[in-house]
Structure 1
Amino acid sequence: MAKRPTITDLARVSGVSVATVDRVLNNRLPVKEETARRVYEAATEIGYHAAGLIRQRMRQELPEYRLGFLLLRGNDIFYGDFARELELAVSQSQRFRGVATIDFAASLAADEIAAQTRRLAAKSRAVAVVGPDHPTLTATVEALKARNVPVFSLLSDFAAGIREGYVGLDNRKVGRTAAWMIAKAARKPGKV
């Protein structure tokens, strides 16, 4: 049976002293984030038994954020997969400890999406929403911005100039690309 890695082995592989490894493990004194990360990576590499503890200690210092996501059609395979990926990305963030709250729109009506966005924003640091470009939703985004709650439009752009950002395709570029492809691939002129 192979010998279990020791603190000395971990110090040697990570390129730091035994005292530094002890500080990372026991949170005795501050250690640079880069050094703690190097110790964690070495612990994972050699199979050190307390690698999980090191990762947990590194994350203790990070701020905690609750992020809200409002998606469409909860029974849709795409949105179900998208929700799982969002949860995974938030939970694995290296910059913060995050909790993703994911809701699905009860209907596609702009006033219902706006109401759900307000409810989600009441318990979130920031929200990202899939919704229509509609005056009701724009007014909601404006009100949330006044309360310092950032709102991001997801997949479909809305509230341009008011929302914090847009995560999705650049539809103008997509259109230009489609037009270029049709112009190059079409053998003769016709209706599109």
Structure 2
Amino acid sequence: MRRPTISDLAKASGVSVATIDRVLNGRHRVREETARRVYEAAQEIGYHAIGLLRQRVFEDLPQYRLGFVLQKPMQSFYQAFAREISVAAAAATTAKLQVQIEYPPVSTPSAIVEKVRTLVMRNQAIAIVAPDYPAVEAIVEEFKEKGIPVFSILSDFAAGVRAGYFGLDNRKVGRSAAWTIARMARKPGKVVCFVGSHRFHGHELREMGFRSYFRENAPEFEVLETMVNLDTVDVTHETISTLLQKHPDLVGIYVAGGGMEGAIAALREEKRTGDITLIVNELVPESKAALMDGTVTMAICTPLPALCRELVAQMISSIEGNTQATARQTFFPFEIYISENI
């Protein structure tokens, strides 16, 4: 494929080659609107000097540091999340951003607090995926008083203290999972929901939505006691294998957090693929393969690119003192994947 030339860039951005030259070399001042149009066109066509263009266009912008605490760095979902954060930061047009992404070794309050303290030393705004522990709320409040905004992502915590929440409407996610099972199951039977921890507010809301849907709209199904799998594959696998032996009339499983791989493996081993409606979260290589072979019925997914763009924009806004734009819940429409649209 031919590499785009400066003439291609001029055509794509609707300016002259001479204007492109001025933007690239900084010989003469070019209007900000024009320079940004050239930069955006360069992104679209894959112009090779995009790094130099960004430097020229945004050289006068303020510089900020953003810190992020995610979970489980070996999981495909969080690897994709980290990539989208970096993409969103690189695409920001109102500031030059440096991003630091960290992962606590475990999801205990002390480990999370330690990571947050480390990030605060180097960054001006923080965003965290964390359980809703009192210790987490305390450190959020501590840094709020020091003027450092902390945002919750995916699962809310420290409501009324944190700067804002960015994620899905998790109660609706749980109800959507229940709706699907109630309609896809071949006959009424038992259903079960797995959560990583009741301390994850997002998981708790998904469980509440799941149970409330069956209670209100499908009482002919029996909802078993919720299972805590610590977001791990092994616990999920072992628990589902036991449930399948104990409850031959099990017709639906919803894994509200991590550990879906264990559910997929258990259904395959017990030869229950296609016999049980399995709902999981996020489209990753494992869930995509399971959708293709019929083990997974539906995956409910977070629109990471949109979430990261809005999150980064609001973190910048909070650093610049615009608190009115934050301190709220920002819900993103979730994406639904089945075997026919992956």
TM-score, normalization by structure 1: 0.78
Contact 2:6 2:17 in 1 (8 A): no
The residue number in structure 2 matching 1:191 is 222
The residue number in structure 2 matching 1:97 is 96
Q: Does 1:85 align with 2:84?
A: yes
The residue number in structure 1 matching 2:229 is none
After TM superposition, the structure 1 stretch with the greater mean CA deviation from structure 2, 165-174 or 35-44, is 35-44
Cα pair distance change 1:18/1:181, threshold 3 Å: closer
Gaps of 5+ in 2: 189-219, 224-342
The residue number in structure 1 matching 2:170 is 171
What's the secondary structure of 1:128's corresponding residue? strand
Shift of 1:170: 1.1
After TM superposition, the structure 1 stretch with the greater mean CA deviation from structure 2, 86-95 or 12-21, is 12-21
1:45-124 equivalence runs, <5 A: 52-124=51-123
The residue number in structure 1 matching 2:303 is none
Cα pair distance change 1:29/1:77, threshold 3 Å: same
Contact 2:24 2:56 in 1 (8 A): yes
What's the secondary structure of 1:100's corresponding residue? strand
1:154-165 equivalence runs, <5 A: 154-165=153-164
Contact 1:5 1:47 in 2 (8 A): no
Shift of 1:26: 4.0
Contact 1:10 1:39 in 2 (8 A): yes
Could you report, residue by residue, the CA deviation over 1:151-176 in whole angstroms, capped at 9, with x for unpaired residues? 11122111111111112221122233
Shift of 1:23: 4.6
The residue number in structure 1 matching 2:130 is 131
Cα pair distance change 1:30/1:67, threshold 3 Å: same
What's the secondary structure of 1:54's corresponding residue? helix
Could you report, residue by residue, the CA deviation over 1:57-106 in whole angstroms, capped at 9, with x for unpaired residues? 00212222211111122233332332233223222323322111111102
What's the secondary structure of 1:60's corresponding residue? coil
Identity %: 52
Could you report, residue by residue, the CA deviation over 1:8-30 in whole angstroms, capped at 9, with x for unpaired residues? x9767755567755653443554
The residue number in structure 2 matching 1:144 is 143
Cα pair distance change 1:156/1:36, threshold 3 Å: same
What's the secondary structure of 1:152's corresponding residue? strand
Gaps of 5+ in 1: none
Q: Distance in 2 between matches of 1:27 and 1:41?
A: 17
Cα pair distance change 1:79/1:43, threshold 3 Å: closer
After TM superposition, the structure 1 stretch with the greater mean CA deviation from structure 2, 129-138 or 67-76, is 67-76
Contact 1:5 1:46 in 2 (8 A): no
Contact 2:6 2:20 in 1 (8 A): no
Cα pair distance change 1:163/1:46, threshold 3 Å: closer
Q: Distance in 2 between matches of 1:41 and 1:61?
A: 18
